[in-house]
Amino acid sequence: MSKYFQQSLDIHRYMRGKWAIKSKVPLQNRDDLSTAYSPGVAAVSNHIASDKASSYTLTMKGNSVAIVSDGSAVLGLGDIGPEAALPVMEGKAILFKEFADIDGVPLVIDAESVDEIVTTVKTVAPTFGGINLEDIAAPKCFEIEQKLQDIGIPVFHDDQHGTAIVLLAALINACKVTGKDISSLKVVINGAGAAGTAIARLLRCVGHDPSACIPVEDVLVCDSKGIISKNRDNLNNEKIKLLAYTNRFHRDGNLLDALKDADVFIGVSKGNLLTGDDIKLMNKDPIILAMANPIPEIMPDEALAAGASVVGTGRSDFPNQVNNVLAFPGIFRGALDARATKISEGMKIAAAHALAGCVTKLSASHVLPDPLNRNVAQKVSEAVKQRAIEEKLQRPD
């Protein structure tokens, strides 16, 4: 067992989790009690009853995000249930607080159907300024997010969009380092779940303003059976939708067939999938972003030895960590500060470019900022807020 596994078990047991509620006001005497609770709080409730928008400034609502999961796709562990998802949601909450001073509230729910989850989120939405969907399996995660876009507060599935945004930032900077033209890239994505689908959409600019987004030449998405193509049988609806904007030249075959003449490999699948010989099938100086955890699809030293120009993983002990903490705190901070009703495609693109711009000394081993860089969330939030204002996505009140 990794030392981090044992250390994590020990600290969680000792602290009884990572997340706690802390009062912002004193409760030292009767005056404090009368102000914080009865009778004084009645004035606050009456004020909100006559002006619902004031809940943003008089309660936790304006600085809070619910972190919602059903535990059906937790990390690389799979469908392990809501209770087992709770420590991950607690971790997300402390990252929100640490990097963006947002009060994240873990909320794991025992529900299986799309409609159950949607109804639950809509029911609790008045409490929060935003909803972060987390570790919900594909394809239901797509439908859940879509059905929640009209509730008047930002709803963001981080496994999809957070991953895609950080990936795009890494790719923008990797192209600067290597001199590659992003618009001519041929990209292979291994993994057709939430992250892989969102990355494909973002790289092909599906649903995005073409003036702000440069589509790559082509994307091949592979699942466990190979390239997703029109000649495949038994594709689910989400994979069929992928064909509208991927595999433009109608290629068939397995992952190795896809790698031939590719410029970029993006892994959101499983570890130890590729060898150095597989990397040699790709175009010269390929970019490898192997994000399976804890073991990447190929280890960085092997990829580099085989000719890779830039290598990133999901791990903190290697350079170029593709870590969602670089995106979601700043994105929600910007959305909350703008009091945006949603997180638009334009806001996501703005976040990716702001994140890429946080790296001032580019190199092959430094295409993303350090995940612990406290300045990143501020710069991302400023870009996201500005874009929300430009798109007139602020609440009318």
Same domain, 226 and 143: no
Q: How many CB atoms lie within 10 A of CB 273?
A: 19
Q: Are residues 199 and 301 in the same domain?
A: yes
Q: Which residues of 314-323 are buried (b: 16+ CB within 10 A; e: fewer)?
A: bbeebbbbbb
Are residues 42 and 93 part of one domain? no
Structure tokens belonging to residue 264:
């970029």
37 annotated active-site:
yes
Residue 318 lies in a domain: yes
The letter for the amino acid at 122 is K
Q: Could you say which of 153, 173, 204 is where a domain stops?
A: 153
- The last residue of one of the domains, among 153, 168, 189, is 153
Answer yes or no: do 212 and 319 share one domain. Answer: yes
Domain-ending residue, one of 11, 42, 58: 58
On whether residue 16 sits in a domain, the answer given is no
Same-domain status, 126 and 229: no
| Domain assignment of residue 103, given as a range | 66-153
- 368 and 258 part of one domain: yes
Question: Same domain, yes or no, for 122 and 204?
Answer: no
Identify whether residues 99 and 146 lie together within a single domain.
Answer: yes
Is 92 one of the annotated active-site residues of the chain? yes
Residue 294 lies in a domain: yes
For residue 371, tell me if it sits in a domain.
Answer: yes
How far apart are alpha carbons 206 and 198 in whole angstroms?
Answer: 10
Both 196 and 295 in a single domain?
yes
Does 12 map to a domain?
A: no
Structural domain tally of the chain?
3
Unique residue bearing structure tokens 């001073």: 101
Q: Quick one: 379 and 231 in the same domain?
A: yes
Residues 6+ apart with CB under 8 A from 250: 229, 230, 231
pLDDT reported for residue 1: 45
Catalytic: which of 4, 37, 225, 280?
37
pTM beyond 0.85: the answer is yes
Catalytic residue among 22, 52, 61, 92: 92
384 Cβ contact list (under 8 Å, min separation 6): 330, 331, 333, 334, 335, 338, 343, 347, 350, 351, 354
Residue among 170, 369, 336, 184 at smallest CA distance from 261:
184
- To 10 degrees, the CA torsion angle through 312, 318, 323, 326? -100
Per-residue pLDDT of the chain (397 residues; tens, 9 = 90+): 467 888 989 989 999 999 999 999 999 999 999 999 999 999 999 999 999 999 999 999 999 999 999 999 888 788 999 999 999 999 999 999 999 999 999 999 999 899 999 999 999 999 999 999 999 998 899 999 999 999 999 999 999 999 999 999 999 999 999 999 999 999 999 999 989 999 999 999 887 776 778 889 999 999 999 999 999 988 988 899 999 999 999 999 999 999 999 999 999 998 899 999 999 999 999 999 999 988 899 999 999 999 999 999 998 889 999 999 999 999 999 999 999 999 999 999 999 999 999 998 999 999 999 999 999 999 999 999 999 999 999 988 7
- Residue 117, domain CATH: 3.40.50.10380
The amino acid present at 18, given as its one-letter code, is K
Is residue 167 included in any domain, yes or no? Answer: yes
- Asked if the structure places residue 50 within a domain, the reply is yes
Which pLDDT belongs to residue 210?
Answer: 67
Say whether both 38 and 127 belong to one domain: no
What CATH number corresponds to the domain at position 189? 3.40.50.720
Residue 238 belongs to a domain: yes
Distance CA 144, CA 115 (A): 8
Of the candidates 299, 361, 290, 345, the residue with the CA atom closest to the CA atom of residue 322: 290
Show Cβ contacts of residue 214 under 8 Å, excluding neighbours closer than 6 positions: 182, 183, 205
Residues 6+ apart with CB under 8 A from 36: 23, 25, 27
Interatomic CA distance for residues 69 and 109, integer angstroms = 6
Among candidates 295, 292, 206, 269, which has minimal Cα distance to 243? 206
What is the C-alpha separation between 185 and 30, in angstroms, rounded? 67
Residue 210 and residue 143 share a domain: no
